[in-house]
Amino acid sequence: MVPHVAALVTRAPAISVYDYWQLNKAKAAAQKAYLDKWRSLRSPASGREADILLTPTMPHSAVQHRACKYVGYTKVWNFLDYTAAVLPAGEVVKTLDPAKSEPSVVAYVPRNDLDEWNWRLYDPESMDALPLSVQIVGRRLEEEKVLGAAAVIDSIIRQS
């Protein structure tokens, strides 16, 4: 394994089968809560449930290897066993993103330590041409729906 992946895998001590099943019970409860929340979301126009979620994949563009510290935008869907697909959605363009020295950017105050970490990564000059992406999320066992939505969203992205 790559060193930083090995560190994640070997970080926790071994647990008993009983403790493992308690974790699985907690996971099932979290999955049920998320499903209930999803099913409660309705379109104001049609009253239908949401088919998919279109979300960011990261709080930033692609970054240098090992510079990423937060994976909450993707990890939650793995935990819930939801279906997700990631699509390229463009790239950073240094002439479109404000420099850190611009007044509106200088005034930014990070909300917490993780936000500060991500903020320090921001540099339109060095990030120029790095990829951006979006994530399409569907509920468990909805691979076909997610792939269909991904095809439509990808064609829209490519047209723009």
Helix (H) or strand (E) holding 29: helix 17-40
The per-residue b/e assignment along 138-148, b for 16 or more CB within 10 angstroms, e otherwise, is bbeebeeebee
> pLDDT tens for residues 25-79?
999 999 999 999 999 988 889 999 999 999 999 888 888 777 777 778 888 999 9
State the pairing for strand pair 83-91/53-56.
unpaired
Do 83 and 10 share a domain, yes or no? no
> Which 8-state DSSP code applies to residue 112?
S
Average pLDDT, integer, range 88-93: 90
Helix (H) or strand (E) holding 67: none
Q: Which of 31, 33, 43 is nearest to 140 (CA)?
A: 31
Do 32 and 62 share a domain, yes or no? no
Main-chain phi, psi angles of 144, to 5 degrees: -65, -40
Q: Which domain, by its residues, includes 134?
A: 51-160
Q: Which of 11, 8, 150 is nearest to 84 (CA)?
A: 150
Do 84 and 136 share a domain, yes or no? yes
Do 17 and 76 share a domain, yes or no? no
Do 96 and 149 share a domain, yes or no? yes
**How far is residue 82's CA from residue 119's CA, in Å, rounded to a whole number?**
29
Average pLDDT, integer, range 124-153: 93
Q: How confident is the model at residue 88 (pLDDT cuts 50, 70, 90)?
A: very high
From 12, 34, 49, give the residue that closes a domain.
Answer: 49
Do 106 and 63 share a domain, yes or no? yes
Domain count, the chain: 2
